[in-house]
Structure 1
């Protein structure tokens, strides 16, 4: 009998997690999020209900399974910015890259997925929570980057403005997706709109905080 290595075990866990997520997404799109049960997802994935809840403690996480990446994305852009680069410049650059990649974290989830969220009060509320968590993480990153900021509320104020801009652009991409626009057309529409939104913030935020920690 072969010995299962830690790497193999982790690989199998990831495969199981992805299998459950894929079946859950399919059922949510076909039946609606509210109408689909954990038991149905477990049966489709051929696993026990407990296995589903072990991997996804909240039903919403089955649909929004990139939530950790989403909530950390803005803070990560700030902490990883180039030396001397402002938070605004870093987030503007990262958003441009996300547009080029048609990144789901920026809102490129496809019409079926976007409709699934729009039709579910539970998922709509959860997405609002995730936007709030993303803002909180960004505020913490900005506070770390500018520990002596004056007034003390400055990092939170900057985070509120930057996160609101990101939320608006995410919603815009979802709006255009639901209107039936293809991703390339969405990106072409949103790029100049994003430039306008970020431009509005330039006078407010300047180079805050320019220096890396």
Structure 2
């Protein structure tokens, strides 16, 4: 169903407020800009800002739902024959190849990281987002594997996968903050990411593989 005029205007207003806020935050620092200043710059009321964004942090981190749900979506949309680990590895390496920002490594990301690290409120919110991403991944794995509610395996797999991503991206960000370009870092990051995923392969590489509907899962025999 096509988007209605009212919905499109609301989406555009939300984006404009977020863009204005992000520009002010990048220029002056998150903690030094008030919501009232954002409202004035965006030519809306403070109430309108809070109608679209529950907190000041959400003005900057407006893609939080997408970020938190990313890994769960990758798992649910994995290809036939792919395990959880293979699907995430493929998607992460694709993001590196295409320069997509979905994993937090992209051109210009160093300025964003500096702003976040300068604000305790943003650091806490990013930590919450990372925890939510891991939790959503565990939920997707549990659903896809039809795990028992008491089975800890989905949470353990999610924790390991998320730790690899957090570690390799953190490594890249530290190099960006030291002044290196994305172009210079990317080849080494790909190698280190592959190495990190390979370390998990022997432990969880075959877990929760998506099987073709026409093919029986391992250990299940075709009827005679």
Query: Considering the TM-score relative to the shorter chain, is it more than 0.5?
Result: yes
Correspondence 1:170-181 to 2 at 5 A: 170-181=169-180
TM-score (norm 1): 0.92
Report the equivalent of 1:50.
Answer: 47
Correspondence 1:147-158 to 2 at 5 A: 147-148=146-147, 152-158=151-157
Change (3 A) 1:105 1:168: same
Contact 1:149 1:155 in 2 (8 A): no
1:21 pairs with 2:14: no
**Structure number with larger C-alpha Rg:** 2
Using the TM superposition, give the Cα deviation of residue 180 of structure 1 relative to its aligned residue in structure 2, in angstroms: 1.9
Q: Matches of 1:80 and 1:145 in 2, distance apart?
A: 10
Consecutive unaligned residues of structure 1, counting only runs of 5 or more, are none
Q: Matches of 1:85 and 1:135 in 2, distance apart?
A: 19
1:59 pairs with 2:56: yes
Instruction: Point out 4+ residue stretches in structure 1 off by more than 6 angstroms.
Output: none
The worse-fitting range, judged by mean Cα deviation, of 62-71 and 100-109 is 100-109
> Could you report, residue by residue, the CA deviation over 1:87-115 in whole angstroms, capped at 9, with x for unpaired residues?
00000000011112222221125222121
Contact 2:26 2:115 in 1 (8 A): yes
> Could you report, residue by residue, the CA deviation over 1:4-56 in whole angstroms, capped at 9, with x for unpaired residues?
x9622122112111111111111111111111100000011011101111111
Using the TM superposition, give the Cα deviation of residue 206 of structure 1 relative to its aligned residue in structure 2, in angstroms: 2.4
Q: In the comparison of the two structures, how many residue pairs are matched?
A: 209
1:140 pairs with 2:136: no
Report the equivalent of 1:201.
Answer: 200
Consecutive unaligned residues of structure 2, counting only runs of 5 or more, are 214-224
Correspondence 1:72-111 to 2 at 5 A: 72-107=69-104, 108=106, 110-111=109-110
Q: CA RMSD in A?
A: 1.9
2:33 to 27, 36, 58: 36
Report the equivalent of 1:127.
Answer: 126
Q: Matches of 2:9 and 2:46 in 1, distance apart?
A: 18
